[in-house]
Amino acid sequence: MVQGKSTTRYLTADEFFSPFSESPSATMVQGKSTTVRHLIPELWRPIVGLLPPRDRLSCLSVSHMLHDIAVPLVFEHVLVAYGIPSDCRLLFEHINPYEPLPRSSDKVLRKRARAARSTAEFLRYIAATPHFAWVVKRLTVRAISLEPESVDCTDLVNALRACYNLQSFSWLGNSPYIPKQAIHAIKKSGAPLTEIRIPLWNPATTALARLRNLRAIWLNEDLRIDTMEERNREAPPRENPNTIIQANSNTLRTLSVFGAVSRWRVPIESLVHLTEFECIWPDGDSEFIASVLDRCTQLRSLMLGVGPVDMMEGDIVAVLRSRASSLPGLTSFKVSMGAGCSRPTTIALVDALAVFLKNKTALRRLDVNIRGIDEGIPGLDAEDGCPLEQIVKLLPSFPKLEVFGLTLARMTFIADDFVLLDRNIPRGVTALFLNLSIRDVGTGIRPALFANFFRKRKRLQYVHFVDQDGRWILFDALRTMCPRSVELLGYGGKMYWTVPNAAGKKYGVQLASRWSAMQLWFHTVDDFAGREDWEWLVRHRNTDIMPSR
C-alpha cells in the first residue's frame, strides 16, 4: 500500500512506475500553464521540488521528463503499511479487549487482500529494480495488521537488502513485530543508515548493536494493539539498549528512549554529544536527569515525560529547580505529565519548571502538556488560581518563541483566564496547539473572544484545538475564524489541509483534504509536508489526536 497525503489508492507496480508513452506539450504547475519544451530539465527540478507532495505525485503522469524528475522526490520516503486505515479506527473503537473483534465485512476483507497484494508487489519492485532502490532514502513501516501472524515480511527484507542508499528506517507499531532479518538486511546492504526508529519491546533490538554511525536512535514505547489475540501472543523480551547506544556514541546526536535509563547502565559519557534528547517516563531516575542537565551541554532540544513514579520516588522537582542556569542555549522544550499525581505534587513540578525555564531566552518551541491539576476538585480555581499561570506569564520573555502547545486542565474557565492566554501567547506564533480540558465554562466566554484571539495572530500556519465536549467552539466556527495563512487545521481527532477562503475575506479557510486514521496514529514529518515544527508539536500527544469515533 502506498499513501499520498489526501487519499489512499492501491496500484500495481507497472501502473505506478511506468511513464506515459506520450508526452503532452504542456502541464499545470500550481495553477499556471507552462510549456514543457520551453524549459530545460535543470529548471524543472527545483520547480517540482517546491510542489506539495500530492502535486509531485501528479507529475508522475504528465510526461517522461517530469516522471523522471519527480520519482526521486516522490519515492525518497517510502511508506509501507501492514493493515489498512480502517483497522486503526476499528482498534480505537474496540472497548473490551477480552472480546474478539467483530467479523469484518466481505468488502473490508477484499480491501485488506488488495492492500497486501499491492504492498508485496511494491516491495518486489524495489528489490528487482536497483536504479529505483537507489532512490529510496527513508523507509517507514506502519504495522497495524489485525492478523500479524499471517504477515510475511520476506518481501520487505529483500527490498531492504536492495536499498543501498537507505538513510532512515522506521518501524511504527507492533503488529507484526519487526523481524531481526530486517536489521540484518540493512547491515548487509551497506546502506549509509543514520537514523533508526523501532519500539523498544521488539525482537529486532538485539540486532541493532551491529549498526554503526547512527546519528538518531528512537526506542519508544510500542503502540499496543489491545485485543484478545494480542494478549495471547507472547511478547519478545526487552533488550538492554546499553550496547546499542555505546556502539554509536561518537556519532549519536538524537536519542529518544522510553523507561528507566539507569537500569540500562548507559554511561553519561555516551550521551555528551547529544543535541536532542527525549526521556519518557524515567521511572524515578532523577539522578540520571541531573547528569544529563549537567554534562550534556550541547543539548538544544529536550523532552521529559514525567509519571507518578518520577514524582513520588524521584526528586525531579529539586533537579529542575536547582539547574536554572543549565542548557542556556536550549531552543526546544517539551514536558508531558498525565493525571495520577496529587495536586500539591503537580504544582511543585510546575513551580520547578517555571524556575528552570525562566532564563531560557533562546526557546523557539515550547509544549507544556500537564494534566489533572484541578480536574475533579471543585472550588480550588477561585481560591488558588491556575497553577500554570506562572508559565504562561513567562512566554513574553521568549522573544524567539514560534511554536507553542498548552494543555489547560481546570474545573472552571472564565474570561480573565482567556485574557491571560491572549495577553501572553506571542502574536508571532506560527504553530499553536491548545487542549482546554475544562469542566465548566464560566460567564463571559463567547466565540467573539476566540475570533479576536486569532485575528491578532496572522502568522499562524498550523492550529490544533482540542475540545472534548464541543462546549468551547464548534469546528466550523473555528474554521471561519482562522487567519488565511493557516495551512493545516486540527480539531481533536480531525486534521485537514486547507486553502484560503474566497478572495475578499480577511479570515477563514476552506477544507481541502482530511487525514486518514493511519496518518493520525502514525504521523511522520512527511505527513506534515516536511514541517518538523508541526510534527514536534503533536509528538507524544497521541491521546489528543486519536481518530474520532
436 within domain boundaries: no
Q: Are residues 140 and 47 in the same domain?
A: no
**What span, in angstroms and rounded, lies between the C-alpha atoms of 363 and 402?**
9
Confidence of residue 44 (pLDDT cuts 50, 70, 90): confident
Q: Are residues 95 and 114 in the same domain?
A: yes
Dihedral of CA 254/126/29/528: which sign? negative
Q: Please tell me the predicted confidence (pLDDT) of residue 8.
A: 37
Domain containing residue 69: 42-75
Summarised one tens digit per residue, pLDDT across range 493-520 is 899 999 888 766 788 899 988 998 888 8
Q: Please tell me the predicted confidence (pLDDT) of residue 405.
A: 97
- Residue 25, pLDDT > 70, answer no
Considering the chain, what is the average pLDDT of its residues? 81
176 within domain boundaries: yes
Q: Are residues 80 and 205 in the same domain?
A: yes
- Please state the rounded mean pLDDT for residues 339-354: 82
Summarised one tens digit per residue, pLDDT across range 283-338 is 667 888 899 999 999 999 999 988 776 666 568 888 999 999 999 999 999 998 87
Q: Are residues 64 and 83 in the same domain?
A: no
- Residue 137, pLDDT > 70, answer yes
3 state DSSP class of 22: coil
102 within domain boundaries: yes
Q: Please tell me the predicted confidence (pLDDT) of residue 173.
A: 84
Q: Are residues 59 and 106 in the same domain?
A: no
- Please state the rounded mean pLDDT for residues 475-492: 90
Q: Are residues 197 and 150 in the same domain?
A: yes
How many percent of the chain have pLDDT more than 70?
A: 77
Q: Please tell me the predicted confidence (pLDDT) of residue 209.
A: 80
3 state DSSP class of 446: coil
**N-term to C-term CA, the chain:** 24
- Residue 156, pLDDT > 90, answer yes
Q: Please tell me the predicted confidence (pLDDT) of residue 374.
A: 57
Give residue for cell 471561519.
480
161 within domain boundaries: yes
275 within domain boundaries: no
Confidence of residue 96 (pLDDT cuts 50, 70, 90): low
68 within domain boundaries: yes
Summarised one tens digit per residue, pLDDT across range 67-95 is 888 888 889 999 999 988 877 777 766 65
Q: Are residues 191 and 81 in the same domain?
A: yes
Phi, psi of 168 (to 5 degrees): -145, 135
Residue among 454, 329, 337 at smallest CA distance from 391: 337
Q: Are residues 71 and 183 in the same domain?
A: no
- Residue 354, pLDDT > 60, answer yes
Q: Are residues 67 and 189 in the same domain?
A: no
Q: Are residues 53 and 91 in the same domain?
A: no
Q: Is 272 exposed, middle or buried (0-12, 13-18, 19+ CB in 10 A)?
A: middle
Q: Please tell me the predicted confidence (pLDDT) of residue 297.
A: 95
Domains identified in the chain, total number: 2
Query: Domain end: 23, 53, 75, which one?
Result: 75
pTM (predicted TM-score)? 0.86
491 within domain boundaries: no
Q: Are residues 133 and 202 in the same domain?
A: yes
CATH number at residue 96: 3.80.10
- Residue 145, pLDDT > 50, answer yes
Give 547 or 388, the one with higher predicted confidence: 388
Summarised one tens digit per residue, pLDDT across range 411-441 is 677 777 788 899 999 999 999 999 887 766 6
Q: Are residues 48 and 88 in the same domain?
A: no
Give residue for cell 506539495.
52
**What span, in angstroms and rounded, lies between the C-alpha atoms of 217 and 241?**
10
Query: Domain end: 75, 98, 126, which one?
Result: 75
Q: Please tell me the predicted confidence (pLDDT) of residue 277.
A: 95
